[in-house]
């Protein structure tokens, strides 16, 4: 199937951009440029936004007006290497407002400075901190009967791309901890072995994907560790209701859809959808892709349904 015009224009705009696997590629400069671009983007008001230290892991907390009791743990994408809570700020604001749920965006450590398992370990640290501190003091909706059921307030987990990998791993590491999981074009297979790497790769190819895995993995043994490659996990059946969204022209398409099939066979309540005409990364850019806002609302509706 053909790319939609918006996706085609996005790919054309990337023509000539230095690939990450170029030996002279400067990670620090690329990170800084991403923050500058993100800072220039419009962002919605959210009733409460504050930075937190969650057991030593920086996080940003968002609570929309008239929020429903519940919390979404958001794990940002970026090939494990790029992006942070600032780059994802606008997207998380939209998710909080659309879902009516508080969101905690996690600024996990990134490679190559901090290789696997630093990122999933940071998520573990945040979850342990939440056990002690959530609901957070001062949340206006934690009153009356809510105070008596504070331990039952649902926590959900969401991520895109590499963040979806971390979200899935968090749910597998902590069976029963989450009320739901939402994954947007998850980055799951370090072998790059699925057919879509050859048939659907637009603006993102196997060589780039392998570079990200090489930055993330600390040893060869890590490539077969289910905490890095969660398609190898033996406890997929322990997952709560899960949403998996893929993009038609994304090399990660087939691994995400394979995950959905595995979950269905394991008896997990799973909903999967493919965004036609779209490429990897579109979700964060409603200014460039008409599909981004409806997808945010789809994710928000799925999460809200589970609280």
Predicted pLDDT of residue 151: 57
Percent of the chain residues past pLDDT 90, beyond the cut: 86
Whether 280 is catalytic is yes
What angle in degrees, to the nearest 10, is found between the helix axes of 162-173 and 118-133? 60
Beta partners for residue 155, in sequence order? 71
- Whether 100 has a pLDDT exceeding 60, the answer reads yes
Percent of the chain residues past pLDDT 70, beyond the cut: 94
Beta partners for residue 159, in sequence order? 75, 183
Predicted pLDDT of residue 193: 94
Predicted pLDDT of residue 140: 46
Rounded mean pLDDT of 216-232? Answer: 98
- Whether 51 has a pLDDT exceeding 70, the answer reads yes
- Residue from 84, 89, 250, 254 carrying the catalytic annotation: 250
Whether 161 is catalytic is yes
Mean pLDDT, the chain, rounded, equals 93
- Residue from 74, 76, 88, 280 carrying the catalytic annotation: 280
Q: How many CA atoms lie within 13 A of 87 on its CB side?
A: 20
- Whether 62 has a pLDDT exceeding 60, the answer reads yes
Predicted pLDDT of residue 153: 84
Rounded mean pLDDT of 124-140? Answer: 78
Is the link from the previous residue into 112 a cis peptide, with omega within 30 of 0?
Answer: yes
Predicted pLDDT of residue 61: 97
Question: pLDDT tens for residues 242-251?
Answer: 999 999 999 9
Predicted pLDDT of residue 67: 86
Predicted pLDDT of residue 134: 75
Q: How confident is the model at residue 16 (pLDDT cuts 50, 70, 90)?
A: confident
Rounded mean pLDDT of 197-220? Answer: 92
Predicted pLDDT of residue 203: 79
Each residue of 6-27: b (16+ CB within 10 Å) or e?
bbbebeeeeeeeeebeeeeeee
Question: pLDDT tens for residues 107-118?
Answer: 999 999 999 999
- Whether 266 has a pLDDT exceeding 50, the answer reads yes
- Whether 142 has a pLDDT exceeding 60, the answer reads no
147 and 171 Cβ atoms separated by less than 8 Å: no
- Whether 188 has a pLDDT exceeding 90, the answer reads yes
Is the link from the previous residue into 133 a cis peptide, with omega within 30 of 0?
Answer: no
- pTM exceeds cut of 0.85: yes
Rounded mean pLDDT of 197-218? Answer: 92
Collapsed DSSP state (helix, strand, coil) of residue 257: helix
- Residue from 67, 99, 105, 161 carrying the catalytic annotation: 161
């Amino acid at each position: 199937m053909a790319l939609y015009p918006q996706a085609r224009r996005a790919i054309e705009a990337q023509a000539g951009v230095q690939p990450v696997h170029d030996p002279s590629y400067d990670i620090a400069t690329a990170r800084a440029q991403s923050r500058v671009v993100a800072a220039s983007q419009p962002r919605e008001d959210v009733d409460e936004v504050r930075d937190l230290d969650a057991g030593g892991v920086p996080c940003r907390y968002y609570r929309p007006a008239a929020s429903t009791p519940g919390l979404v743990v958001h794990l940002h994408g970026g090939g494990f290497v790029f992006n942070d809570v600032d780059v994802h700020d606008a997207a998380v604001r939209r998710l909080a407002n659309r879902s009516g749920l508080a969101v905690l965006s996690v600024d996990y450590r990134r490679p190559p400075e901090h290789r696997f398992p630093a990122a999933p370990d940071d998520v573990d640290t945040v979850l342990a901190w939440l056990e002690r501190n959530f609901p957070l003091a001062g949340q206006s909706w934690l009153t009356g009967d809510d105070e008596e059921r504070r331990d039952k307030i649902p926590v959900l987990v969401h991520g895109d791309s590499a963040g979806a990998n971390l979200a899935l791993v968090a749910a597998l590491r902590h069976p029963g901890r989450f009320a739901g999981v939402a994954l947007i074009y998850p980055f799951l297979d370090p072998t790059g072995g699925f057919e879509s790497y050859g048939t659907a790769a637009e603006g993102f190819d196997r060589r780039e994907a392998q570079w990200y895995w090489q930055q993330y993995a600390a040893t060869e043994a890590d490539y077969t560790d289910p905490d890095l490659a969660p398609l190898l996990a033996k406890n997929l059946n322990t997952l709560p209701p899960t949403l998996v969204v893929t993009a038609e022209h994304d090399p990660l398409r087939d691994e995400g859809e394979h995950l959905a099939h595995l979950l269905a066979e394991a008896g997990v309540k799973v909903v999967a959808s493919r965004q036609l005409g779209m490429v990897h990364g579109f979700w964060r850019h409603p200014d460039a892709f008409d599909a981004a806002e409806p997808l945010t609302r789809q994710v928000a509706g799925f999460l809200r349904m589970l609280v």
